Amino acid sequence: MFACALCLASSLFAQNWKQVHRSDEAKWAKTTGLDPATIHKLWRDASHTPNEKDDDSRIANIDLDGLAERHDVLLVTYAGEKNCLTLTVFRQYSEFKFSKVWSVDELPNKTSFCDAPFGSAAAEALNGAVTVRVPKSTTDGATNYTLYTYEWNGITYRLAGQKEIQLR
C-alpha cells in the first residue's frame, strides 16, 4: 500500500515538474521571441540532471543582448533548496541552432552561486561580460554582495575579477 502511494506521489510530482517547465518555457519564449521548443532544448542542454522528470532546475534569465556581439546567449538556471545558479553560454548560429560554449556553477574554490536568507543570487550579461551577484552578509539594513565578472578571452569565458558591492 505504502509503495503504491509513493509511486503515485512520484508520478504526480514528475507531472508537476513537467507542467512547471512547460510554463517556464512559454514565459521565456514570450519574453525572448525564441520558440518554446528552442527554450526547452537550451534548458536541457544546460541541465546537470540526465532525466528530465527528475530535474528541479528552473530558468532565472535568458539574456540575448549582453553577449550579442559574439552571437552568444546567456541562460541562467537555478535549482535546489538554496536556488543555486548555473550559468551557461550558447553560441547562436541561427534561429533554432545553438551550441553550448561555456558553463559554470561554482567558483574555483568550489563556492556555489546561491541565495542566502538576506538576498538572492543573480546573473546577467552586460557589455560582453557575464556578471554574477552573490549575497554575502548584511550591514545596517543593506545587503553586501560579491560581484564576479567573467570575460571572453578569445577561447572561453574566464573569471576576470570580483568586487564587493552593497545594495539597499
Look up residue 146 and give its three cell numbers.
560579491
pLDDT, one tens digit for every residue, the chain (168 residues): 444 444 444 444 444 878 888 889 999 999 999 999 999 999 999 998 888 888 899 999 999 999 999 999 999 999 999 999 999 999 999 989 999 999 999 988 899 999 999 999 999 999 999 999 999 999 998 999 999 999 999 999 999 999 999 988
Question: Under a CB-based contact definition with an 8 Å cutoff, are residues 88 and 75 in contact?
Answer: yes
State phi, psi for 163 to the nearest 5 degrees: -150, 155
C-alpha distance from residue 156 to each of 22, 90, 101, 160 (Å) = 31, 11, 7, 12
Going by C-alpha positions, the residue among 115, 87, 91 that lies closest to residue 103 is 87
pTM of the model: 0.88
Domain residue ranges of the chain, discontinuous segments joined by +: 2-167
Strand order in the sheet with 58-63: 58-63, 72-79, 84-92, 98-104
